[in-house]
Structure 1
Amino acid sequence: MASRLSFANITALAPMVRVGTLPMRLLALDYGADVVYCEELIDIKMAQCRRVENEVLQTVDFVAPDDRVMFRTCEKEKQRVVFQMGTADPDRALAVARLVEKDVAAIDVNMGCPKEYSTKGGMGAALLSDPDKIEAILRKLVSGVSVPVTCKIRILPSLEDTLTLARRIEKTGVAAVAVHGRFKDERPRHPVHCDYIGAVARAVAVPVIANGGSLDLVKTHGDIQAFRVAAGASSVMLARAAMWNPSVFRSAGPLPLHDVMIQYLKYALRYDNHAFNSKYCLCQMLRDKVESALGKRVQAAQNNQELSEAFDLVGVFEETQAALEARRDALQSPERLRDHVIAVDGDVTTMALKFQRREYPPQLTPKMFLLEWSRRQKLEQPTYQTVQRAQDRAFQSTVTVENRKYRSSLWEKSKKFAEQASAVVCLRARGIPESHVGQENGGRPHKRKTEDGRDVGQEKRTKQTGDGERETGGS
């Protein structure tokens, strides 16, 4: 069993909304961060997610009902990533923590963010005025999960109240407390109160992580230790300094920003990060150069390919896409599919597979095989219902045969391919032979007959099929 994460004498990437996604976390670890926090994720949304092992990306994804990936992580960061949640409910917090605890190194509760998206519903800095709820949440988590639990707070207007809260938090059994040295109504332009952080560090025995030094105190890696000493804290976490240039974690000194951005984008491509999130992070790195020629190209980009073009990384983009496609194909090999697990979700039978056009004879498709089989069995013809996913316009189809439903859990690039994939699931789940299995006659498929005696393979490419779809050679 892996050792528990220590928060003593560490330098961490602070939790930052829209910034602390997987590419930025991995980059910070590469450059020397000891621990990385994900962006704050709201418990209500996370509680609805399902855990999915993404074999293509080699990640673990937590996927919302609308198929958005709320949190993505991988083996490389497993022992050093802290999952931060926004919560105001002990039971819901525990449910979310148990959902993710096997894939993260620790759980953190956000009690410091003053923004409305965090404070609404009593989360974030709103918790600072409800110490009873703070204690209830933390005790529930500490006793309910196997990984360390921490929290991140802001200082209160009174030093005495701040110390009282810190001591009360310590008694819940947390592994560390991160302290942002600003009051709830202060913003990054205000100086950080190192004296408050130091007082908290002296008042409790658990490690205290100082936060808030990016404005005045931390410009380079050498400043991190100076901030640690000024705050009297065990550890330091960096937000904006790391957002502007993650190589601030390098003991050997920062790298040119352009090189850092390229490395970030390579991770974004490798892990299929949403293009608009990648664009946001790149623009934060550009800062006052966001209106430069490069900045304008980044802002104009609408997808990962266009982001790659902005940095002259078209070759990297194509290689990455080819590698991911090869992995998809390998996962869909006949050997894998023979042993593929069939899942039943309610009244829907699912398999994780895609329609591979090259596996079928010319002018023949799984839909045609399924239609022919249904006619021979004197069943009603199959019906298809297809939905489109908003974020990437991918398609998923469900086919109904004999009042039973079948679909692929993988999404396709077109409506046609989605329908074909659902037909494949139906054929394989029911054990209906497909012509590409056991072909004879020198590799040529057997001629298959429709109910009226015609050769299916001789139908014209644009002939209207019995299920109402116009088939083409590219389907």
Structure 2
Amino acid sequence: MVLVSVSCFYVVDITALAPMVRVGTLPMRLLALDYGADVVYCEELIDIKMAQCQRVVNEVLQTVDFVAPDDRVMFRTCAKEKARVVFQMGTADPDRALTVARLVEKDVAAIDVNMGCPKEYSTKGGMGAALLSDPEKIEAILRKLVTGVSVPVTCKIRILPSMEETVRLVQRIEKTGIAALAVHGRFKEERPRHPVHCDYIKAVAQAVSIPVIANGGSLDLVKANADIEEFRKATGASSVMLGRAAMWNASVFSSQGPIPVERVMEEYLRYAIRYDNHAFNTKYCLCQMLRDKVESPLGKQVQAAQTNVEISEAFGLQDFYLQTQEQLQVRRDSLYSSSQPDQPVMDGDVTMMAIKFERREYPPQITPKMFLLEWSRKEKLEQPLYKTVQRSQDRAFQSTVTVAEKKYRSSLWEKSKKFAEQAAAIVCLRVLGIPEGRIGEEDSGLVCKRKREWKTNGFTEEEGRKKRHIAGIQQENESSEFAAAANGSHHKPNGPAAQL
């Protein structure tokens, strides 16, 4: 395999994962690198949305996230791919393109402008393949980027109706100073069922001196790793970019031969779990890999799954899922224990403390919410009112409770709505100096004695506590995943957002 650095586009004979909407997220990119891809492109990301994002270091996932105002993670990357990931944007505006490029340039190997997507969501804004009819705008965008960022700038085009037009366009593009050019060998109106025009790509490669990356050969010409070199020779290109062939089975990048798709899917799923990929995005990518096996027993189970827990069960990875969640929680707790105050602080009109709800610290059927409710009744106050929000990039929850017209909240985010409400109740109880029902706490009389029985179903106190702890992890993880699915969050997917 070719050694690839930040200047990867000055190296010939590379293989690249093509930019693919909904497919080119972090798990797929890392999987492609594992199997031998030299360069990986992210999915096309629109400049208008990206320009609103904040760059946030996610210390829990060990990623860099670009977070939109609605808390969706638009782009997530990590150190493993930094020198080999290309950020592809959809843009029709030079100034906005530069704003986005400067936002991400420290975390990627190169910036690419999409000039080949024929889909309406891209072309309707003058982006994608719509740019092919406006060479002046193409030049303005590329020159602005080339002179404005510190990483290589590239673009990806489709071919024009005639070979002469195509050659004239790429020669104009070359003069902007870009580092490389990817060419999808189909016309704007053509689709994958149409044959790729290798002769056009070859004409482009002969007409310019910069590296040319050939694209569009999946299925017809590239069915296995050995076909990649044949496609490169047929097009006269410096390198090859694969889309659908890699989407179906990323081991096409491996010179060791193909790997059964079920194993590839499992490796993909491990990355999706490790980097908290949104369940709907994970499910979509797995279904693309299944192809004609989508109606198989495994395919039906994947299609029916609504959460990462259920997807993990389909592949027998539920233990890996639970272990990963526990590891992430340990990392969260460690980060917060060293950075959050133990004493109450005011955030506007809200009293806050760094408190997490630990179910094992309370007897069965006893919760802080229960104690707060009973105390409010005793004091003839209105019932505590909880308002809970969910952060979409990590699907964590934070709750604020209002009691006697005062608000209380934990500064820490919880893995479920229930836990977030319990944490808010604890803050309120501790600030007011009210018992909360923890094991070993003196009986306050707020909750009837019957609910304080510690021995149930023949278990000792310690045995019962362990069983409740294990069951609690599973139940709350499933609860969190279900809530996220119901909300339809993006593959999301931190300033405030990074702190899970």
Letter in 1 for 2:197: H
Match of 1:4 among 6, 16, 24: 6
**1:265-319 C-alpha deviation (Å, 9 max, x unpaired):** 1111111111121111111111111111211111111111211222222222232
Look up the match of 1:238.
242
Q: Which has the higher helix share?
A: 2
**1:47-85 C-alpha deviation (Å, 9 max, x unpaired):** 222222222221122222222222111111111111111
Structure 1 residues 404 and 323: alpha-carbon distance in aligned structure 2, compared to 1, 3 A threshold: closer
**8 Å CA contact retained: 1:191, 1:215:** no
Where in structure 2 are there 5+ consecutive unaligned residues?
376-381, 450-471, 477-500
Distance 1:96 1:256 in 2: 39
**8 Å CA contact retained: 1:247, 1:254:** yes
Letter in 1 for 2:314: A
Look up the match of 2:41.
37
- The 5-angstrom pairing of residues 108-187 of structure 1 reads 108-187=112-191
Tell which deviates more after alignment, 25-34 or 129-138. Answer: 129-138
**8 Å CA contact retained: 2:341, 2:353:** no
Look up the match of 1:337.
340
3-state SS of the aligned residue for 2:154? strand
The alpha carbon displacement at 1:347 in A equals 8.8
**1:407-437 C-alpha deviation (Å, 9 max, x unpaired):** 64735411x5334556788999xx999999x
Distance 2:243 2:259 in 1: 18
**8 Å CA contact retained: 1:12, 1:237:** yes
Structure 1 residues 127 and 394: alpha-carbon distance in aligned structure 2, compared to 1, 3 A threshold: same
**8 Å CA contact retained: 2:8, 2:84:** no
Structure 1 residues 321 and 211: alpha-carbon distance in aligned structure 2, compared to 1, 3 A threshold: same
- The 5-angstrom pairing of residues 338-353 of structure 1 reads 338=341
**8 Å CA contact retained: 2:73, 2:393:** no
Distance 1:84 1:349 in 2: 43
Q: Structure 1 residue 413 and structure 2 residue 431: aligned?
A: no
Distance 2:58 2:409 in 1: 21
Match of 2:307 among 267, 281, 303: 303
- Runs (4+) off by over 4 Å: 346-369, 380-384, 388-394, 398-407, 419-428, 431-436
**8 Å CA contact retained: 2:117, 2:129:** yes
Match of 2:261 among 257, 262, 279: 257
Letter in 1 for 2:169: L
3-state SS of the aligned residue for 2:125? helix
**8 Å CA contact retained: 2:294, 2:300:** yes
Letter in 2 for 1:277: N
- The 5-angstrom pairing of residues 285-434 of structure 1 reads 285-332=289-336, 334-338=337-341, 354-356=356-358, 365=368, 385-388=387-390, 395-398=397-400, 408=411, 410=413, 412-414=415-417, 416-419=418-421, 421=423
**1:163-210 C-alpha deviation (Å, 9 max, x unpaired):** 221122112221111100111011111111111111111222211111
The alpha carbon displacement at 1:326 in A equals 2.6
Count of aligned residue pairs for this structure pair: 440
Look up the match of 1:73.
77
The alpha carbon displacement at 1:399 in A equals 6.2
3-state SS of the aligned residue for 2:210? coil
Distance 1:433 1:172 in 2: 68
Letter in 2 for 1:117: Y
3-state SS of the aligned residue for 1:121? coil
**8 Å CA contact retained: 1:11, 1:35:** yes
Look up the match of 2:97.
93
**8 Å CA contact retained: 2:250, 2:264:** yes
The alpha carbon displacement at 1:343 in A equals 12
Distance 1:133 1:348 in 2: 51
Distance 1:40 1:67 in 2: 19
Distance 2:278 2:162 in 1: 42
3-state SS of the aligned residue for 2:52? coil
The alpha carbon displacement at 1:387 in A equals 3.1
Distance 2:227 2:85 in 1: 24
Distance 1:343 1:110 in 2: 47
The alpha carbon displacement at 1:147 in A equals 1.4
Look up the match of 1:466.
none
Distance 1:213 1:393 in 2: 39
Letter in 1 for 2:319: G
Letter in 1 for 2:306: Q
Structure 1 residues 352 and 245: alpha-carbon distance in aligned structure 2, compared to 1, 3 A threshold: farther
3-state SS of the aligned residue for 1:48? coil
Letter in 2 for 1:282: L
Tell which deviates more after alignment, 124-133 or 402-411. Answer: 402-411
Structure 1 residues 424 and 91: alpha-carbon distance in aligned structure 2, compared to 1, 3 A threshold: farther
**TM-score normalized by the length of structure 2:** 0.76
Letter in 1 for 2:389: V
Letter in 2 for 1:299: Q
3-state SS of the aligned residue for 1:237? strand
Structure with the bigger RCO (C-alpha within 8 Å, sep 6+) is 2
Where in structure 1 are there 5+ consecutive unaligned residues?
373-379, 448-454, 463-473
Look up the match of 2:452.
none
The alpha carbon displacement at 1:46 in A equals 1.6
3-state SS of the aligned residue for 1:122? coil
Match of 1:460 among 447, 457, 461: 447
Letter in 1 for 2:118: P
Look up the match of 2:24.
20
Letter in 1 for 2:125: G
